[in-house]
Amino acid sequence: MTPDQTTAAEPVVEPVVTIAADRAPEPGPAPETAPVVFDVRDLNVYYGAFRAIRDANLHIHRNEVTAFIGPSGCGKSTMLRCFDRMNDLIEGARVEGSVKYHGVDLYGDKIDPVEVRKRIGMVFQKPNPFPKSIYDNIAFGPKLAGIKGDMHEIVERALRQAALWDEVKDRLKKSAIGLSGGQQQRLCIARAIAVAPEVILMDEPCSALDPIATARIEDLMQELKSQYTIVIVTHNMQQAARVSDRTAFFTTEVNETSDTRTGVLVEYDVTDKMFSNPTDERTENYVTGRFG
Amino acid sequence: MSPAGSADRPGPVRLGYGAELEQLRLQTEVMGLRVDQNLERMRQVLVTGDPRLAATALAADDEIDAMNVSLTERCYEVLARENPVASDLRLVVSVVRVISELERVGDLCLRVVKVAVDHERLTAQARPFDILCVMADESIDLFRAALRAWATDDLDLATELAIGPRSLDLAYAQLVDALVRLDGPDAAAAAMQALVAGQALERIADHAAILGTRLRYLITGDPNHLATEVRR
């Protein structure tokens, strides 16, 4: 307490009492204050006869970073791809249950997947810039989407938001392939931002990057979340603990009838709780690294 | 990758890590037992004034301090190398905090030992001396309960220690009451001597309670149980 906050006339209060009173009790999950962007209900995803995800339910909140963690093959990337209907591009993929985006069923009859992907951008594991100039990489999306306005301004804003502008402003016409891995990944983030989406999905965006480049992307996520809703799949648990507000833990269940595995959502809670005191023993075992 | 570490097979992975955490837990218990031995010496010195036993207690405290240092270093190493989370993180941080409590109890124990060596003066007044002996017994009992709770992961016992009644408060009040009534040429010196010992014993009991709250949080992970330990 600073001196100006208290007066000499005030009785001396034991500071420990203040500490105890300041701590609001948090029974169960944190209050869900941020509006829900995605509302997933009883989601089942199949690839042909194979069920990749079983009965998943969760809410993604606006202006938060949500992390999906879990062992390989647990369905976290599949879940991510449900949000921008990328699974549509896979032969035999089928989605049951509902994925609502601001209350609208993403898998409704009248929904155009292309329209969905304009609002929901995706950044992949391996940076995948087009073999074009840095400028054209960013301008491509807005042009295709028919976004009107000063294209230079759009490109600059996207590059600035992706914390790349200062590094590339003098070589915008040079090939994007000449950038470092970390720069390429930030370029891909800038490219996703350029079409002004509401949500950015990231599928292991740092797994191909060194620690410095990773730290930059992580910082970037913190800056971007004030404007965007971010969902990230990561194998790096410390990364999930560092960047996300909420964490969903998925794992695999071996099916009794066949030798296949299905992904299940085990626990979904505020990240602090998931990494300090998870409710489900399977989460505890996974985050502590006892069982893979 | 180790044979047990295959992602396709359920079973323990990071075998060395689990063993290391178990070692931390056990070594903390061992350190607690060393402190307990010194508390027993303290009780004997209090009753007999034996200077030889007092010297043994002083020497033993160096070992306790050394254990505090080496265990703290091991905790740092585990934190740096293994990035523990969830109950593992609570364990490592709890060990760091618990061993510093133990070290503190060791120091308080020595404070009593040093005072008790001047046995003639301490025993000259029967009532304060009797109260001190009772306080020593009670504080040792509480410390042993804390040690037992740690060794057996006993949440009920930890909770009782953390929020239970403070039995030494009454004895301490009685001690102060007896000391202010002392008179005679040696009264002030005797009172100060007994008061130092009495305060130390009362603090030992407090530390036993704190050990209970540390263990309670370790087991439950409930942040409210952290708040309790701040309040203590």
C-alpha distances in Å from residue A241, one per residue of A137, A236, A245, A274, B50: 32, 9, 8, 9, 56
Provide, as residue numbers in chain B, all residues whose Cβ is less than 8 Å from the Cβ of A211: none
Contact yes or no for B221 and A276 at CB 8 A: yes
Q: Which of A23, A284, A292 has its CB closest to that of B86?
A: A284
Q: Output the pLDDT for position B9.
A: 54
Provide, as residue numbers in chain B, all residues whose Cβ is less than 8 Å from the Cβ of A289: 13-14, 17, 82
Asked whether residue B139 carries a pLDDT value surpassing 80, the answer given is yes
pTM: 0.80
Q: Output the pLDDT for position A8.
A: 42
Which of A218, A252, A256, A262 is CA-nearest to residue A69? A252
Q: Which of B18, B89, B221 has its CB closest to that of A290?
A: B18
Provide, as residue numbers in chain A, all residues whose Cβ is less than 8 Å from the Cβ of B7: 71-72, 292
Residue A77's pLDDT band (boundaries 50, 70, 90)? very high
Residues 6+ apart with CB under 8 A from B199: B172
Give me chain A's average pLDDT, please. Answer: 87
Q: Which of B7, B12, B231 has its CB closest to that of A290?
A: B12
Task: Give B84 to chain A, closest Cα distance, Å.
Answer: 6
Residue B14 backbone zone (phi > 0: left; psi -120 to 50: alpha; other: beta):
left
Contact yes or no for A16 and B7 at CB 8 A: no
Task: Give B221 to chain A, closest Cα distance, Å.
Answer: 6
Task: Give A270 to chain B, closest Cα distance, Å.
Answer: 13
Write the DSSP symbol of residue A31: P
Task: Give A141 to chain B, closest Cα distance, Å.
Answer: 40
Contact yes or no for A23 and B224 at CB 8 A: yes
Contact yes or no for A287 and B90 at CB 8 A: no
Contact yes or no for B230 and A19 at CB 8 A: yes
- H-run or E-run covering A182: helix A181-194
Asked whether residue A244 carries a pLDDT value surpassing 60, the answer given is yes
Residue B215 backbone zone (phi > 0: left; psi -120 to 50: alpha; other: beta):
alpha
Residue in chain A nearest B91 by alpha carbon: A276
Interface ipTM: 0.72
Picking from B85, B213, B231 by the largest number of A CB atoms within 10 A of its own CB, the best residue to mutate is: B85
Which of A200, A206, A191 is CA-nearest to residue A227? A200
Q: Output the pLDDT for position A4.
A: 45
Strand A104-105 relative to strand A93-101: parallel, antiparallel, unpaired? antiparallel
Q: pLDDT > 90: what percent of chain A?
A: 71
- Give the mean model confidence (pLDDT) for residues A222-236: 94
Task: Give B83 to chain A, closest Cα distance, Å.
Answer: 8
Q: Output the pLDDT for position B91.
A: 96
Residues 6+ apart with CB under 8 A from B15: B2, B4
Task: Give B88 to chain A, closest Cα distance, Å.
Answer: 7
Provide, as residue numbers in chain A, all residues whose Cβ is less than 8 Å from the Cβ of B78: none
Asked whether residue A11 carries a pLDDT value surpassing 60, the answer given is no
Pairs of CB atoms within 8 A across A/B: 60
Give the relative orientation of helices B51-82 and B15-48 as an angle to the nearest 10 degrees.
160
Taking only the tens place, the pLDDT of each residue in A82-96 is 999 998 888 899 999
Contact yes or no for A278 and B86 at CB 8 A: yes
Taking only the tens place, the pLDDT of each residue in B91-124 is 999 999 999 999 999 999 999 999 999 999 999 8
Please return the burial class of A183, using the count of CB atoms within 10 Å of its CB with bins 0-12, 13-18 and 19+.
Answer: buried
Do the Cβ atoms of B206 and B83 come closer than 8 Å? no
